[in-house]
Amino acid sequence: MGSKALLEGGPEELAGKVVPVVPPGQELKIPHRGGYEHYKVTTRHQDVEAQNVTVYRWWERTEVAE
């Protein structure tokens, strides 16, 4: 089973979601509404969906150039 992350902060549609992390321990860059939401790994963990996942905290958004 691969690593998963709990997203904290950022857009309402993404906050609280559990997503796969590849590779683990790295920044997450999630495509969302014409740009990317960036999340950084924290030292915190939380039990979600019967597993212990790492919490990733939102820190910025970048836009995709058209």
Sheet harboring 28-32: ordered strands across? 18-20, 4-8, 51-63, 35-48, 28-32
Percent helix, strand, coil in the chain, to 5, is: 0, 60, 40
Domain of residue 9 covers: 4-63
Residue 1 confidence (pLDDT) above 60: no
Cα separation, 23 vs 26, in Å, equals 6
- Give the other-Cβ count within 10 Å of 53's Cβ: 18
pLDDT-above-90 percentage for the chain: 73
Number of domains in the chain: 1
pTM: 0.87
pLDDT tens digits for range 21-65: 877 677 899 999 999 999 999 999 999 978 899 999 999 999 987
Cα separation, 63 vs 43, in Å, equals 28
